[in-house]
A and B are shown apart, each in its own frame.
Chain A
Amino acid sequence: DGGITQSPKYLFRKEGQNVTLSCEQNLNHDAMYWYRQDPGQGLRLIYYSQIVNDFQKGDIAEGYSVSREKKESFPLTVTSAQKNPTAFYLCASSHREGNSPLHFGNGTRLTVT
């Protein structure tokens, strides 16, 4: 079955450590996105990519980095520079056309203490 997979589901880290969240899709989608969600809030865009080796900052990119070396993969690194990293992180993918739905993963809940 085609889909988008985020791993792990839960992640715990100590403050000061970088951590990388995985996002893989086998839907042959060109576009991929990373969102952050805080409790009771909407989704905020961190980074997005429309093609391999290209990505753009979203609204809250500070303290995060991404790479897009393969079409299927769009890992997100939460660096120690991110002041409030504890959150629910969601990855999505889609074809680039505007009538193409976004497919979301089930998220990674990151807790930093």
Chain B
Amino acid sequence: DAKTTQPNSMESNEEEPVHLPCNHSTISGTDYIHWYRQLPSQGPEYVIHGLTSNVNNRMASLAIAEDRKSSTLILHRATLRDAAVYYCILRDRVQGAQKLVFGQGTRLTINP
């Protein structure tokens, strides 16, 4: 199973950009990179995903390294509501349902 590595915690200030890193050195050519976030006592929610190119949506941006061994989730202007645990996972493009492994994630704290 392809693994991802994230820092246990990060802290930022409200209205500042946040860059959340994820290492996935064993990524295969058919793996999509997915990001989810989880608020306390709730199920995770989808944030963004990408394959090779950088991606933007209304929630965040995803920057993918050229060798695809790492990626960064970018929150352009953090709010208190962005305080959550963020998970980066890999999902194979062709294998259908598979063992999707979530690590410990990064606990993001936003200071007012």
Which A residues form the contact surface with B (CB < 8 A)?
6, 30-33, 35, 41-45, 48-51, 56, 58-59, 88, 90, 92, 94, 96-99, 101-107, 109
A92 pairs with B43, CB closer than 8 A: yes
A97 pairs with B43, CB closer than 8 A: no
> Which residues in A have their C-beta under 8 angstroms from that of B101?
45, 59
> Which residues in A have their C-beta under 8 angstroms from that of B30?
98
> Which residues in B have their C-beta under 8 angstroms from that of A102?
34, 36, 44, 46, 100
B102 pairs with A101, CB closer than 8 A: no
Q: Shortest beta-carbon distance, A80 to chain B, in Å?
A: 26
Contact partner of B43 among A30, A42, A94, A107, CB < 8 A? A107
A59–B104 Cα gap in the complex (Å)?
15
A31–B43 Cα gap in the complex (Å)?
17
> Which residues in A have their C-beta under 8 angstroms from that of B105?
42
A45 pairs with B99, CB closer than 8 A: yes
B99 pairs with A42, CB closer than 8 A: no
B43 pairs with A90, CB closer than 8 A: yes
Q: Shortest beta-carbon distance, A70 to chain B, in Å?
A: 16
A10–B102 Cα gap in the complex (Å)?
23
> Which residues in A have their C-beta under 8 angstroms from that of B91?
98-99
A32–B46 Cα gap in the complex (Å)?
15
A42 pairs with B104, CB closer than 8 A: yes
> Which residues in B have their C-beta under 8 angstroms from that of A96?
96-97
A55–B92 Cα gap in the complex (Å)?
18
Residue B103 interfacial (CB < 8 Å) = yes
Assuming A92-B43, A98-B30, A101-B49, is B97 touching A31 (CB within 8 A)? yes
Contact with A along B19-63 (1 / 0, CB 8 A): 000000000001110101000011111100101000000000000
Assuming A102-B46, A103-B46, A107-B41, is B102 touching A48 (CB within 8 A)? no
Give the residue among A43, A104, A109 with the most B Cβ atoms within 10 A: A43
Contact partner of B45 among A41, A56, A104, CB < 8 A? A104
Q: Shortest beta-carbon distance, B4 to chain A, in Å?
A: 11
